[in-house]
Amino acid sequence: MTANPALFVDDIVVEFAKPRSLADVLTGRKARAVRAVDGVTLAVEAGQTLGLVGESGSGKSTIGRAILGLIKPIKGRVEFEGEIAASRADIRRRMQMVFQDPYSSLNPRLKIGEAIAEVLRFHRIVPQEGVATEVQRLLSVVGLPGAMANRRPRQLSGGQRQRAGLARALAVRPDFLVLDEPVAALDVSIQAQILNLLVDLRRQLGLTMLFIAHELGVVRHMSDRIAVMYLGKIMEIGPADAVFETPRHPYTRALLGAVPKMDLVKRERPAVTQGDIPSPLNIPSGCRFRTRCLMARDICRTEPPEVMIAADHMSRCHFVLDAVMQAPSRSADRHITEAL
């Protein structure tokens, strides 16, 4: 990793205050806060894609929004190309977002062309005479026919809307995109189209990306590096291949073990985790994964250290260097289950 990553997130903490209910007020309880992101540090090199995976309550969406300045963190800072993003509107404009829900990401009252043109005009990306041409160019870049400029969102399918939203984001010539579950709401056959488009655009435009998703296969396909989050903290972060082929954290292993495989064997095995994901209001002390971890021991009640497995691969677990963790994924899972 170079000394100057394009995006640098330094120990961000984001809290949401949970408003006090009447009962809380009457009993004098203090307002509680949910720590959606609890000290996350990450860096993305220019032109690279960092994949962020996690389940409910992991904080992955919150981090995306905090990076773009939609949510103010209570601690920590976000730097883009060396500058603090929060202080510079022009920097923030180079960081854009692609959303999950194709049905709410476009203004229903605006035609597609109007929505894109508005961006071009407001920021004077091109002179007035060139707006219509630029709109057409953007539409073709995302694979939409030019006639779409005159359609309204309700006349477009989910995949087409995602393309339109992408065109709108690209209108402002961003260098960095946060993609928050961009294909989760799409049919499988459309999903592949959009992913291919994103890969092409990334290459053509040299985009740096933060790709947030819960589908491990999709994340793997898109990412150079992967960070695995659980209840607001990064559990493991490293090169995509390393993290998915030789995961060094029990949660990563659990995620990979839980994903249904296409091995065409009707499952008889038990689940790889037990119990529910804890609520972010009640984060377990010490290692937050210990309540569901099959390897948990007493030491897990203390905060686990960050262990560097390699220069660019970190795992936050007491047992990173144990033999069990060093074995390839599947056999290790069996060991873990048998050990109990």
Partner 1 sequence: MTDVSVPMSSSVFAIAGGEIRSWSPSLKIGGAIMAAIVMAAIFAPWIAPFDPNAQDFTAILMPPNRAHLFGTDNLGRDIFSRVIYGARIDLVIGFLTTYVPMTYGVVLGAYAGYLGGRFDGVLMRVIDVAMAFPFLVLIIVILAILGPGVQNIYIAIFIVAWTMYARLARAEMMVERTKDYMTAAEILGFPKSRIIFRHGLPNVINSSIVFSASDFVLNIVLVSSLSFIGLGIQPPDPEWGSMISEGRDFMRQAWWIATLPGFAIVLTGTALALIGDGLASRLGERHHTMI
Partner 2 sequence: MANPPLLSVASLNVAFSTPQGQVVANNHVSLSVAANETLGIVGESGSGKSVLCRALLGLLPSPPATVSAEKMDFAGHSLLSLNAAEMRAIRGQEIAMIFQNPMSSLNPVWPIGDQISESLRVHRGVGRSQAREAAIAALARVGIPSPDIRVDDYPHQWSGGMAQRAVIAMAMIGEPRLLLADEPTTALDVTIQDQILSLLMQLQRETGMAIILVSHDMSVISETCDRVAVMYAGSIVETGRTVDIFRAPAHPYTHGLLRSIPHVTSKADQLASIPGQPPDLSTLGPGCPFADRCPVASAECRVRPIALAPIGPDHSTACHFPERVAGLGQRLAS
Contact residues: partner 1, CB under 8 A? 68-70, 89, 92-93, 95-97, 99-101, 103-109, 118-119, 122-123, 152-154, 158, 165, 168-169, 172, 185, 187
The CA distance from 310 to 20, in Å, is 45
Q: Nearest distance from residue 188's CB to partner 1, in Å?
A: 8
The CA distance from 262 to 26, in Å, is 55
Q: Which residue has the tokens 């203004």?
A: 107
The correct pick among 1, 70, 199, 308 for binding partner 2 (CB under 8 A) is 199
Listing DSSP states for 64-81 in one string gives HHHHTTSS--SEEEEEET
Binding flag, residue 340, partner 2 (CB under 8 A): no
108 binds, among partner 1, partner 2, none (CB under 5 to 8 A by kind): partner 1
Binding flag, residue 270, partner 2 (CB under 8 A): yes
Q: Nearest distance from residue 317's CB to partner 2, in Å?
A: 17
Q: Nearest distance from residue 180's CB to partner 1, in Å?
A: 9
Q: Nearest distance from residue 76's CB to partner 2, in Å?
A: 26
Helix H segments across the chain? Answer: 22-27, 60-67, 89-93, 112-122, 131-141, 158-170, 188-205, 216-222, 240-245, 250-258, 323-326, 329-339
172 binds, among partner 1, partner 2, none (CB under 5 to 8 A by kind): partner 1
Burial-class residue 32 by CB neighbours within 10 Å (0-12, 13-18, 19+). middle
Question: Using only C-alpha atoms, what is the Rg of the chain?
Answer: 22
The CA distance from 42 to 260, in Å, is 29
Q: Nearest distance from residue 105's CB to partner 1, in Å?
A: 4
Binding segment (CB under 8 A) for partner 2, from list 36-44, 64-72, 92-100, 248-256: 248-256
Beta strand pairing call for 95-98 and 313-316: unpaired
Q: Nearest distance from residue 80's CB to partner 2, in Å?
A: 28
The correct pick among 80, 176, 211, 244 for binding partner 2 (CB under 8 A) is 244
Q: Nearest distance from residue 282's CB to partner 1, in Å?
A: 26
Binding flag, residue 19, partner 2 (CB under 8 A): no
Residue 3 CB partners (closer than 8 Å, separation 6+): none
DSSP 286: S
Q: Are 36 and 230 in contact (CB under 8 A)?
A: no
The footprint of partner 2 on residues 95-154 (CB under 8 A) is none
Binding flag, residue 192, partner 2 (CB under 8 A): yes
Q: Which is nearer to partner 2, 68 or 186 (CB)?
A: 186
Query: Can you give the binding site for partner 2, defined by CB under 8 A?
Result: 55-56, 157-160, 187-193, 195-196, 199, 214, 216-218, 220-221, 240-241, 244, 254-277, 279, 292
